A and B are shown apart, each in its own frame.
Chain A
Amino acid sequence: MPDTLTQNPPAPESAPTDRCSRGVPVSGAEILIRSLEAEGVEFVFGYPGGAVIKIYDEMHRIGPQFEHVLVRHEQGAAHAAEGYAKATGNVGTVLVTSGPGATNTVTGIADAYMDSIPIVVFTGQVPTKLIGNDAFQECDIIGVTRSITKHSFLVRDVRELASTVKKAYHIARTGRPGPVVVDLPKDVIADSAPFEWPEHVTLRGYDFVGRGEKGQVALAARMIAEAERPLFYVGGGTLISGAGEIVTRLARMTRIPVTTTLHGLGAFPETDPLSLGMLGMHGTWYANQAVQHCDLLIAVGARFDDRVTGKTDAWAPHARIIHIDIDPACISKNIPADCPILGDVSTVLEQLEPLLPGASRAPKDLSRWHRQIDTWKAECPLAWKRDGKLRPQHVVEALRDRTGGHAIVVSDVGQNQMWAAQHFTYAEPRSHITSGGLGTMGFSLPAAMGAAFGVRARAERGQADDTQAAPALPVISINGDGGFLMNVQELGVIAAHKLPVKIVVLNNSFLGMVRQWQELFHGERYSHTDLTPTNPDFVALAAAFGIPGLRCTSPDAVEATISKAWDITDGPVLMEFRVVTEEMVFPMVPAGAATGDMIVQRFNPENCA
């Protein structure tokens, strides 16, 4: 930029801290940018508009330390921030304009709230004077998002901006993480004040417990020592707390089998014989059998969701329950815990470790329980029909074999999500990202984009530091043909940034999960689930965005297609698999039924002889 018009010599690049220490007033927009830098933000996923134009202008002038990623729809920004947060453990950041810009993020905010994902969403707002006047692009986003945020702020004074940003990130990141909305009226952004980054956050009404209560931890240890048929039930909170390693160590030390929730996948390696895979509605039959017969259930960072428990009255009828969670409202919410332990999962497990059988003495003999589980595993393993037709499970298993399980799988919602959960065999923390609580179709593509940005940045940092950083894991986005189109616009961003995302479309030309329920529970009346008339040519669609596309229609070509896709390393690639329309996800606990009553195979006259 030529400086000929500037009166004073331009400030050097490293100036901000000097400027703030001198207490020079700067614009609210600059305060926001400096605050994000101070917070260590790497990426801002955003979309400009009238109410935030000043922020974008200052970004252009300053050239901030973070990278702004221009998405193509604000919902994409929110999901990208979620994907980034899930893959890296950092807080995701979103910046959008007022009104429609803000409301377009609502689905992503609700999604982050349900799945405890730390994101901060900055929304533009009309000037303070116009609030409540039905001004152009006005929306009370604080009101709209009140029940789907951990907290929210409307900044009314530029002098409170920096401290509000600090509070927002603190609240989003700590305790049980979640989304925070910061609403920024246009006049506050234009106003000026010195930039002062506070050293501490003061929030007198906000607190969370780290260490578990000693007596409760001791009680849990006694319960574990007494149990004949104990079972670990590991949820997403374990991964949030970074407790994958210690859970694995404890399970192996005590020889207690492990089942994980959808969000717990990766916390315990599914390659381990102690692993029972996922439990719940589409969990393995043997995991659910183990739940129904265990005498002790050790719930770790899990929340007893209805997709896990089915009918709560009939769930785990013989089990005493130890429940470790950081959110007091989660404990005993759905099923009363015999031994509630409030605290950070990692910390509590570290407290528990020395007290457990196996730590100082030989682990308890659980061989009868192990034999029982092995019998169940043999009786009804996860299986699919190998009959020469292209089945989606085949694709997921081929992806696993290609990567050796070392990948970040970002699944969408529906059948594709369940197949991805059942058949990939997760072995590492943060290797599985999905929209579990809200079940947001259209999540996978933008979330994979956010994850890919985070993974690439980490690999580049590793190279720059010359540390022995692991090479960037491949990011695989697994979609159905329905959900893929819901945020397909982000293909443009993935292409522009040459993100090496492996995009998989399991195309069965149907809204498959709804179709499955229609077939099983609604008399095979396929009301509005056939997508054949409206589906595009997916390979041509990718080509329109400059992304190479591959189509696979035969089971014999699955491995070759994946091989070709993996040869492309300098950017994204899309693989469309034309899979069997009638394929269903099994086993299954019908909604609201008892976990003991699983459907293990297709309702089919041939099977009901």
Chain B
Amino acid sequence: MSMTAPALTPQQLFRKQVSGESLQQGDPDTVHAHTIVVTLENSIGALNRVANLFSARGFNLESVAVGPTTDPTTSRLTLVTTGNDRIIGQVLQQLNNLVDTLVVDDVTDGAFVERELCLVKVAAKPEERNALTGVADIFRGNVVNITPDSITFEVTGPTTKVNAFIGMMHEYDVHEVARSGRVAMRRHLAFEHNQ
């Protein structure tokens, strides 16, 4: 094998472009986060198959949230994954190939809302409470529990906001953080989106 990389043919450049790879040799791939909403059969093992797919095929899985829908036979899964265009294409196709998945929708390609809920338990002596609730107010957080030496906040919002809130709380003595994972929805009705 030669040490200097040969010049790429036009076809090779085209392939790199289609894959979402950088055209400059040595540059890292162009990687984006994608939010994918999956409607799947509410059957035993369905969620396992989805999670398993990500580990078996070496895809990233940043966040998963699952819950029932208005139809008791299906559940709704919101996944966040990262990769270049080729990898995201693979994720979508492989998800589609699962027998239990009914709809696979990469909402990232349009307008969508995304929310995450977090619970943060912070050690708080009575004299610290005001300062803490002041920070929480800025994030429109709620106090969901209070004890003589702790406060538990609930904050909902886009992941960046949740991150910022948890960052602020780290000024204090954080004991526990629980995050729901992201849920997402397209802003428009499906028929509007199709137009």
B186 contacts the other chain (Cβ, under 8 Å)? no
B residues less than 8 Å from A328 (CB atoms)? 93, 96-97
A residues less than 8 Å from B142 (CB atoms)? none
Which stretch (A94-102, A146-154, A542-550) binds chain B?
A: A146-154
CB distance from A356 to the nearest CB of B (A): 22
Q: Which of A146, A318, A338 contacts B9 (CB 8 A)?
A: A318
Q: Give chain B interface residues in 145-174, CB to chain A under 8 Å.
A: none
> Contact at B9–A317, with CB atoms within 8 Å?
yes
A residues less than 8 Å from B93 (CB atoms)? 328-329, 331
Closest residue of chain A to B103 (Cβ to Cβ) is A205
> Contact at B56–A147, with CB atoms within 8 Å?
yes
A328-B93, A336-B86 as given contacts; A147 in contact with B45, CB under 8 Å:
no
Q: Report how far A320 CA is from B41 CA in the complex, Å.
A: 39
A594 contacts the other chain (Cβ, under 8 Å)? yes
Which of B44, B49, B97 counts the most chain A CB atoms within 10 A? B97
A318-B11, A336-B15, A593-B1 as given contacts; A329 in contact with B90, CB under 8 Å:
yes
> Contact at A332–B99, with CB atoms within 8 Å?
no
> Contact at A597–B19, with CB atoms within 8 Å?
no
> Contact at B45–A154, with CB atoms within 8 Å?
yes
In this complex, how many residues of chain A approach chain B with their Cβ under 8 Å: the count is 32
> Contact at B15–A205, with CB atoms within 8 Å?
no
Could you tell me the dominant secondary structure of chain B's interface residues?
helix
A154-B44, A318-B9, A597-B1 as given contacts; A171 in contact with B99, CB under 8 Å:
yes
B40 contacts the other chain (Cβ, under 8 Å)? yes
Q: Which of B1, B52, B98 contacts A205 (CB 8 A)?
A: B98
Q: Report how far A143 CA is from B44 CA in the complex, Å.
A: 12
> Contact at B9–A204, with CB atoms within 8 Å?
no
A332-B89, A336-B15, A336-B19 as given contacts; A151 in contact with B99, CB under 8 Å:
yes
CB distance from A557 to the nearest CB of B (A): 44
CB distance from B51 to the nearest CB of A (A): 10
> Contact at A205–B97, with CB atoms within 8 Å?
no
CB distance from B2 to the nearest CB of A (A): 9
Q: Report how far A146 CA is from B53 CA in the complex, Å.
A: 9
A313 contacts the other chain (Cβ, under 8 Å)? yes
A245 contacts the other chain (Cβ, under 8 Å)? no
Q: Report how far A471 CA is from B94 CA in the complex, Å.
A: 42
Number of A-B contacts (CB under 8 A): 62
Q: Report how far A313 CA is from B86 CA in the complex, Å.
A: 14
Q: Report how far A66 CA is from B93 CA in the complex, Å.
A: 37
B1-20 to A contact mask, C-beta < 8 Å, 1/0 = 10000001101101100110
Q: Give chain A interface residues in 118-170, CB to chain B under 8 Å.
A: 142-143, 146-147, 150-152, 154, 156
B residues less than 8 Å from A470 (CB atoms)? none
A203 contacts the other chain (Cβ, under 8 Å)? yes
B75 contacts the other chain (Cβ, under 8 Å)? no
Q: Report how far A171 CA is from B99 CA in the complex, Å.
A: 9
> Contact at A142–B90, with CB atoms within 8 Å?
no
B residues less than 8 Å from A319 (CB atoms)? 11
A residues less than 8 Å from B101 (CB atoms)? 205
A206 contacts the other chain (Cβ, under 8 Å)? yes
CB distance from A335 to the nearest CB of B (A): 6
B31 contacts the other chain (Cβ, under 8 Å)? no
> Contact at A205–B99, with CB atoms within 8 Å?
yes
A327 contacts the other chain (Cβ, under 8 Å)? yes
A333 contacts the other chain (Cβ, under 8 Å)? yes
> Contact at A147–B12, with CB atoms within 8 Å?
no
A322-341 to B contact mask, C-beta < 8 Å, 1/0 = 00000111011101101000
CB distance from B27 to the nearest CB of A (A): 14
CB distance from A147 to the nearest CB of B (A): 4
> Contact at A147–B11, with CB atoms within 8 Å?
no
Known: A146-B56, A205-B40. 5 other contacts (CB 8 A): A142-B45, A205-B102, A316-B11, A329-B94, A331-B93
Give 7 closest A-B pairs by Cβ, nearest first: A329-B93, A147-B56, A336-B18, A317-B9, A151-B99, A328-B93, A205-B102
Q: Chain A interface (Cβ within 8 Å of chain B)?
A: 142-143, 146-147, 150-152, 154, 156, 171, 203-206, 313, 316-320, 327-329, 331-333, 335-336, 338, 593-594, 597
